[in-house]
Amino acid sequence: MADQDTEEGAAKKAAPKSKKKLLIIGAAAALAILGGAGGYFALSGGEHAEAAAEHGEEKGGHGESGKDGHGKDAAGKGAKAYVDLPEMTVNLATVDREKQRYVRLNVALEVDKAEMADAIKPMMPRVLDSFQTHLRELRPDDIRGSSGAYRLKEELLRRVNVAVAPAKVDAVLFKDMVVQ
C-alpha cells in the first residue's frame, strides 16, 4: 500500500514536468517550422521577390523602398497621381419599384505617373459609362458592408482597366460612398 502511495505521488510530480517538456518541445518545433519557412522565403528571392514587386513592395521592407510614404521618390518626384471622377448617383436594382434605392459615389483613380493620368482623362466617358452600367445592376445587398465595398472596388478596377487599355490604373479609391 505504501508503495502505491509513493508511486502515485511520483506520477503526479512527473505529470507537470512532462507537460512542461511537451510545451517546450512544441514551442521549439513551432519556432523551427516558422524559422524554416521564413528562411525559405528570405533565401529564395527570385519568384517571391517578383511577386512582392508586383504588389508594390520593394527590398528594404516597410517604408525603406526609396519612397517617403506619400507616393514620392526620395528625390522629390511625384510617383503616384490621382484622377478624380465626377460624383455619380445611380439607381440600384430593386425588386420593389415603389421603394427606389440609390448609391452615390465619389471615386479617385490611382496611377503610377502623371503622364498616365493625362492619358486616362480623354477616356473618362468610357470609364463613367462602364461604372454606371455596372452599378445599375447591383442590389443594395451587393454593396453592403466592407466585403461588398471591396468586391465593388475590385470590379470597378477591372472595368476601368478594360476601358483605358493600354493605360493602367493601380487602384480605385472610394472618397465617399452612400447607399440610400
66: cell is: 526609396
Nearest to 157, CA basis, from 166, 168, 146: 168
Average pLDDT (110-118) is 91
Q: How many helices and strands in the chain, by DSSP H and E?
A: 5, 4
pLDDT tens profile 12-69: 555 556 677 766 776 666 555 655 544 444 444 444 444 444 444 444 444 444 444 4
Question: In which domain, by residue range, is 8 found?
Answer: 2-44
Q: Which tops the pLDDT comparison, 75 or 153?
A: 153
Q: Are 126 and 171 contained in the same domain?
A: yes
Residues in the chain: 180
Domain total in the chain:
2
Cα–Cα dist 83/101, whole Å: 27
Question: Does 32 share its domain with 94?
Answer: no
- Same domain flag for 20 and 104: no
Cβ-based neighbour number of residue 39 at 10 Å: 10
8, part of any domain:
yes
